[in-house]
Amino acid sequence: MARRINKRGGLLNQVIVHVVLIGIILGLFLFATAGKINARGVRQQVLEKEIALLIDVAVPGMSFEISKENRDGLVSEVELSRGNIFITVDGLRSAKGYPYFSKYAVSVEEEDDKFIVRIR
């Protein structure tokens, strides 16, 4: 009888150790990815994608503004080149940009506290 109790106790200890180890690994994973989710690069890519989608559906005569100080960070540059939009957020220059598709002429003008994207 004493032998069975020891086996059950050992099994219970193993289960507890495994649960604790899994919890630690899960915690480390969440901690490591939390910083990446709010990183400048992600915010920059989201902003580029949003602007590219706005350009895609715009018709001639439309214009929209990008505030230099917005929820994604400080936007210091907006550039259109070869069908891609490049946005610099918090000093991080875009390496790849995001493609937009428009059969109309698209331009960007900088004003004091905003960028204006015009579709002609």
pLDDT the model gives residue 38: 63
In a 3-state reduction of DSSP, which class is residue 66? strand
This prediction has a pTM of 0.68
Q: Say how many C-beta atoms besides its own lie within 10 A of residue 55's C-beta.
A: 22
CA distance 49 to 43: 10
Report which secondary-structure segment, H or E, holds 16: helix 2-37
pLDDT the model gives residue 36: 66
pLDDT the model gives residue 10: 80
Structure tokens at 108: 């960007």
pLDDT the model gives residue 51: 94
Burial of 102 (0-12, 13-18, 19+ CB in 10 A): middle
Nearest CA to 2 among 46, 97, 10? Answer: 10
**In the β-sheet with 69-70, what is the strand arrangement from edge to edge?**
69-70, 73-81, 84-89, 98-99
pLDDT the model gives residue 2: 46
pLDDT tens digit at each of 120 positions of the chain: 445 556 667 888 888 999 999 999 999 988 887 766 667 778 888 899 999 999 999 999 999 999 999 887 889 999 999 999 999 988 888 888 999 999 999 999 999 899 999 999
